[in-house]
Amino acid sequence: MEYLLIFIAAIFVNNVVLSQFLGICPFLGVSKKVSTATGMGAAVTFVLTLATIVTFLIQTYILTPNDLNYLQTLTFILVIASLVQMVEIILKKVSPALYGALGVFLPLITTNCCVLGVAIGVIQKNYNLLESVVYAFSTAIGFALALIIFAAIREQLELVELPKGVKGISIVMITAGLLSLAFMGFSGVDGGLKILFGI
Amino acid sequence: MEKLSNSLLNMTVVLTATAIVTGGLLAFVNDVTKEPIAEVNKQATTDGIVKVMGGNPNIKTDADTIENNGNTFVVYNVTDDKGNALGNAVESSTMGFGGELKVLTGFDAEGNILGYTILGHAETPGLGAKATDWFQKGGKGDIIGKNPAKNNLMVSKDEKDGKKGEVDAITASTITSRAFLKTVNEAYEASAKSAPATDCNTQPTVAAADSVNANVEEAK
Amino acid sequence: MKKYIDILINGLIKENPVFVLVLGMCPTLATTSSAINGLSMGLATCFVLICSNLVISLIKNITPDKVHIPVYICIIATFVTVLQMLLAAYVPEVNASLGIFIPLIVVNCIILGRAESFASKHGPIESIFDGIGIGLGFAFALTLLGGCREFLGTGKIFDLTVFPEDFGALMFVLPPGAFITLGFLTAIVNKIRGVKN
């Protein structure tokens, strides 16, 4: 039940993009079309879950026992960067079809702050391994959901006549604000569920 | 100067050198800042306790960890510089509207609330976040001086055993108010369970003092 | 001297990282719930940017091309961690209010972006000026955004009350307000710069 709560909270209540502001760059950059948004969402889900497992293990078995917490940021970012490269190489060899679908998005993920943000976040929240994995996976789903919804809105936005000043990034921001406002309707839902299930 | 070529040797040397230099620099800075950071954290805890225990800056505290109903509380037994027991300051937390709500509450020896301070929260700014001032002396939901054993510390909408709650909830933030009062009530129970603050001169035995020190280490 | 001033102005206005280049959006949106938070985040980023620009422009020739990205990331991450420890030790309030967004300066695209596009091609002094210009441009944008949100949401600027808090539109302090305020500010900047799309 706790895992279900983490899942729902991470997707709707504390949506990684719309209420925690992590991963804004790809959210604005690759949301012009629903098809690319879906690809990016899938790639992030894959890398985020994998990266969180690896960084969690490194933190628990290498950094914490040796009192090396001050190397956390440095280690995590290097691990994520090399992991992305490795995934890219392996995918290329093992599954060219999947590589064709996700390949172009992979290099972009290194600088996606939601990967590093979640990796550091699960350590700060004192999650155990399974909770971390569930949290990472649901956060990524939340990212993909926000990205796809937003892409669909932007496709419609293309057809609208706009004043000169707000064209480009400005109207994109305002639209994202309205979407974020809609997601705020979910706030408190996790607390309610908690009371409902008596956790 | 020419750019170094991409030979394997060059790359290995540069990467290793980078790793050594950055690692060494971080270790050095960590060494320098370790003491001040620990000092700052300790100071923050002490300041909080002074604030909720009525503002007397000359106090001594003993930390104690209490388990109650599956929750963990840190109880500080507070004495003034002459060794007179002042009461307990209790660190407790619960789920608020947006996430963990962490409160430090001060009780005198009879269990009356002396003061409280919010240590950490994820409540909505401007709504639930008003809890910082709302329940203070003179605030609309004043709880200072009340005793959780005698007063029904619940929001006025709720009732327990036919008795209505005595505290006005924060406007538009009933969930935060409920969570806050819940954690204060729990803090009171933990405080009552903990050994009452005793005279420093007579107590505690060496073994007990050791375990207290261990708890202080953990609390850090 | 004129060259350096040009670089400085370029970062502050012509290539303002937030309004023109649209880089580093995560901290821009997340930490600007008040003017003072925006300013601290801007200055923190500015510090890392100046240091990393300087070091990278010094070592650019002894870094083989194929490994330059990992080396740059190492350098940036080191400065970020140094900053994080210094803040925790000497200004704990700032550390507490910026939280997780301090380590996330590492993945702020502005810093790696300037390392790639400026510091790896220019000398140390020019790189420092570029760091100052872009960094201050970023800090300026964040303070402006934070100020607007704080003013509209709570009626205060830098904690000084302008009108009573009860009349504030709370939404501007909450996440949606960040997007919307930035959207309108960009529109205003576009108008001033006379951009024709």
Choose among A151, A192, A142: nearest CA to A5. Answer: A192
- Chain C residues inside the 8 Å CB shell of A111: 107, 109, 112
Cβ <8 Å between A191 and B175 = yes
DSSP B26-77: HHHHHHHHHHHHHHHHHHHHHHHHHHHTTS-S-EEEEEEEEEETTEEEEEEE
> Phi, psi (5° rounding) for residue B92?
-140, 160
In tens, the pLDDT along C10-47 reads: 888 888 888 888 888 888 988 888 899 899 999 999 99
pLDDT band at A59 (very low <50, low <70, confident <90, very high): very high
d(CA B96, CA A143): 24
Say which residue, A19 or C180, is predicted with more confidence: C180
Measured between CA atoms, the residue of chain A closest to residue B23 is A71
C-beta separation of B153 from B165 below 8 A: yes
Partners of B59 in the β-ladder: B80
Helices (H), chain A: 2-8, 24-29, 34-58, 72-94, 96-102, 106-109, 113-124, 129-157, 169-184, 189-197
**In chain C, helix, strand, coil percent, each to 5?**
80, 0, 20
Say which residue, B55 or C131, is predicted with more confidence: C131
Q: Is C131 within a domain?
A: yes
How many Cα neighbours within 13 Å face the side chain of B14? 25
Cβ <8 Å between B125 and C170 = yes
d(CA A14, CA A9): 6
Place of tokens 């949290």: A135
The interaxial angle of helices A34-58 and A72-94, nearest 10 deg, is 130
d(CA A171, CA A183): 18
Q: Is A197 within a domain?
A: no
Cβ <8 Å between C30 and A21 = yes
Mind telling me how many Å the CA of C112 is from chain A's nearest CA?
9
Partners of B164 in the β-ladder: B159
d(CA A138, CA A144): 10
Choose among B129, A51, A99: nearest CA to C97. Answer: B129
d(CA B206, CA A64): 31
C-beta separation of B119 from B132 below 8 A: no
Tell me the one-letter amino acid at C91.
V
Total tally of structural domains belonging to chain C: 1
Mind telling me how many Å the CA of A36 is from chain B's nearest CA?
33
Which residue range(s) make up the domain with C71? Answer: 24-139
Strand extents, DSSP E, chain C: 156-157, 160-161
Interface test with C, best of A59, A71, A77 (most C CBs within 10 A): A77
Which residue range(s) make up the domain with A53? Answer: 2-191
Nearest to C70 among A22, A81, A164 (CB): A81
Average pLDDT over residues A100-122: 80
In tens, the pLDDT along B65-123 reads: 888 777 788 888 888 777 778 888 888 888 777 677 888 998 888 888 888 888 887 77
Helix (H, G, I), strand (E, B) or coil at B25: helix
Among residues 110-149 of chain B, which lie with CB inside 8 Å of chain C? 124-127
Partners of C160 in the β-ladder: C157
d(CA A16, CA A2): 19
Helix (H, G, I), strand (E, B) or coil at C140: helix
d(CA B39, CA B45): 10
The interaxial angle of helices C35-59 and C68-90, nearest 10 deg, is 140
In tens, the pLDDT along C48-73 reads: 999 999 999 999 888 888 888 889 98
Q: From edge to edge, which strands make up the β-sheet containing B85-95? A: B59-68, B71-80, B85-95, B100-108, B113-120
In tens, the pLDDT along B117-157 reads: 888 877 776 677 788 888 888 888 888 888 888 888 888 88
Judging by beta carbons within 10 Å of its beta carbon (0-12, 13-18, 19+), is residue A65 exposed, middle or buried? exposed
Mind telling me how many Å the CA of A186 is from chain C's nearest CA?
13
C-beta separation of C170 from A181 below 8 A: no
Residue B94 parent element (H or E): strand B85-95
Decide if pLDDT at B211 tops 80: no
Partners of B114 in the β-ladder: none
Helices (H), chain B: 8-52, 131-134, 174-193, 206-219
Q: Is A104 within a domain?
A: yes
Total tally of structural domains belonging to chain A: 1
d(CA C172, CA B216): 42
Average pLDDT over residues A118-136: 90
In chain B, the percentage of residues whose pLDDT exceeds 90 is: 4
Measured between CA atoms, the residue of chain A closest to residue B97 is A188
d(CA A111, CA A106): 10
Nearest to B10 among C64, C85, C173 (CB): C64
What tokens does B16 get? 């290793």
How many Cα neighbours within 13 Å face the side chain of A136? 29
Q: Is B16 on the interface with C (CB under 8 A)?
A: no
In tens, the pLDDT along B19-63 reads: 899 999 999 999 999 898 888 888 888 888 888 887 777 777 777
Q: Residue C172: which residues within 8 A CB-CB, separation 6 or more?
A: C148, C149, C152, C153, C180, C181
Q: Is A199 within a domain?
A: no
Decide if pLDDT at A35 tops 80: yes
Cβ <8 Å between C26 and A164 = no
Query: Has the ipTM of the complex gone over 0.90?
Result: no
Task: Supply the pLDDT for residue A125.
Answer: 82
